[in-house]
Amino acid sequence: MRYNRPIRLCFVLLFVTSVFSDKLSWSGDAADRCFCKLQGEVDDCSCKVESLDSLNNNKIYPILTSLLSRNYFRYFKVNLKKSCPFWSDDSRCALRDCHVNVCQKDEVPIKIPDVDTHSEKHERNKYLKELNEGKQGFEERCAEERELGALDATISEEKKAEFQTWKEYDETLPLFCDIDDEHSNDMEYVDLLLNPERYTGYKGPSPRRIWRSIYEENCFKPEKNYGYGPDYGKDASIESMFFIARGMCLEKRVFFRLISGLHTSINIHLCDKYLFPAKNGFGQSYWDHNLQEFQQRFDPALTHDQGPQRLKNLYFTYLIELRALAKAAPYLKQKGFYTGDNQEDEDVQKGVNDLLDIIRKFPDHFDESQLFKGNTKEMQQLKSEFVLHFRNISRIMDCVGCDKCKLWGKLQVLGMGTALKILFSGDSMGPDSIVKSQDKDFQLTRTEIVALFNAFGRLSSSIHAIETFRKLAS
C-alpha cells in the first residue's frame, strides 16, 4: 500500500493534536488500518486470531486475573542488584537505581558511546542541552520518572516470616536445574500487585540499546540478504528485521516471533496504563488508555506497515505459553501451591485446575514437534544456539535502567524460558504430549511457576487490552 502524502505531515498533525488533547481520536480509516490485518491464522500456526480473542477474553483472562492476585503468585523472588554484564550503565540519571535520592547534574552521562545511533545521539544531546541551559522543569521530570520507575518494596514482617516457611518447603523438592541467583543473598521478594507493569517514563538511549542488543545481536539472521541493504548483518533496523524474518527457517522464525511478541506485549501495557498530566494544569495526573501512543506503535502507516505483524506476533507468543501450560497441566495439578494457609492453598489449586481444564480443551495448540526435527548434527547445533541466544537475552535484562522495567523484564523472560523448558521436556513432543510429577527428570521451582503464570498473565492482559483499543478506535 502506498501513501502519496509525506509521512512527516502525519507526525506534525499528531504532535499539534496532542498539545490540545490528552488523547487522539482515530478516524474510521485509521482504525481499520491497524486492526483489519489482525485476523485470520497466526503465522506458523493453524490457530486463528479470532479464536484466541474469544478464548482469552471470555474464559482465560477473568480466571487468570483473579488467580494472580493470590499470595502464591503475587510475590516474586528476584535479584535486581546484578550489574549489567555487557556495558556500563548508560541510563539517564532519573532512571538509575531507586536508592539514588537526588538527580545531580553531574550524573548525566556526557560521553556518547560509539555504538549510539544518530537518533540516540540527538536525543541524548537534547537532554544534555536542556540540562546545561537550566531549563525549568527538567529536574521535576527527572524526579517524576525516578518515582515512576522505583519499586514499592513494602513487605510486612508477618509476610517475611511466611517466606521462610515457603523456602524450607521448596528446598525439600528436587530441582530440574538451578535458577540464577536462587540462593544469593541479593534475591528478594517483590509484591507484584504493588508494582504493576505500566508507563514509567523510561525512554531514550538506554531502552533503545536494550532492544537493539536483543534484536540485532541475539535474534537469528537469515543467510541471505533478501534485498535489505549490503550492511544488513551489522546495521539492520528493528523494522527491517520484521520483513526478513520470513526468510528464516521455522526454528529461527519461532525465536524471533517470541521476542517480538514479548516486545509488543510490553508496549501495549505502556499504552494501556499511561500517565496523563492533570487536565488544565489542575488536580492530579491520572492513568488511562493512550490511544495516540497505541497508534504510533501499531498503525501500519506509522510503522512501515509492521504494526499488525507485531500484534500477530503477540498472539504467537501467547500460543507458545498456552501450549506449555497445557503440556504441564498434569504436573501442575499435582504440584501443590504451598503458602502455609490450607484454605488459601486449596483455593489456589482449584483456580489453577479450572484454568488448566479450559486450556487443555482448546483444540488448536501449537505443535512443538515441528521444531528441531531429527537428530542431525545441524539440528543439535541449532538447538544449542537457540538456548544460548535466549540465555543471553535473560542476561541483557540486568542492563535495564529502570527497576520496575527490569522486574517485569526478568519475570517475563524467565516465564518464557520456563515455557520453552516445558515444551522440550518429557518423553515425547507434540500436541498430545505431557509432563507429569512422576517424571524424575522434570521439576519446576516456585520461582519458575510464579514467572510462568505471571508471564502468561501479561500476554493475556495485552490481548484483552487490544479489544479495549479496538473499541476506543471505532
Choose the most confident range, by mean pLDDT, from 117-126, 148-157, 303-312: 303-312
Question: In angstroms, rounded to a whole number, what is the distance separating the alpha carbons of residues 381 and 372?
Answer: 10
pTM (2 d.p.): 0.76
Q: CA 65, CA 60: separation in Å to the nearest integer? A: 8
Q: What is the pLDDT of residues 68-107, one digit of tens each?
A: 999 999 999 899 888 888 887 554 433 333 322 222 333 3
Going by the annotation, the residues of the binding site for FAD are 198, 200, 211, 260, 263, 297
Q: Which residue has the higher pLDDT, 142 or 228?
A: 142
Is pLDDT at 62 greater than 80 in this prediction?
A: yes
> pLDDT at position 154, please?
66
Q: What is the DSSP string of 199-231?
A: -----SHHHHHHHHIIIIIIS---SS-TTS-TT
Q: Where are the domains of the chain?
A: 33-108+159-221+236-473
* Residue scoring higher pLDDT (140 or 199): 199
DSSP secondary structure of 88-138? ---S-GGGS-TT-----GGGS--PPPTT--HHHHHHHHHHHHHHHTT-TTH
Count of beta carbons in the 10 Å neighbourhood of residue 69: 11
According to DSSP H, which parts of 150-275 are helical? 157-170, 205-212, 232-235, 238-244, 250-272
Q: What are the C-alpha distances in Å from 74 to residues 6, 48, 350? A: 47, 31, 17
pLDDT band at 450 (very low <50, low <70, confident <90, very high): very high
Catalytic positions are: 402, 405
Q: Which of 235-249, 251-265, 419-433 has the lowest mean pLDDT?
A: 235-249
For residue range 359-398, list pLDDT tens digits in order.
999 998 988 888 887 777 888 888 888 888 888 888 899 9
Q: Which segments are annotated as binding site? A: 198, 200, 211, 260, 263, 297
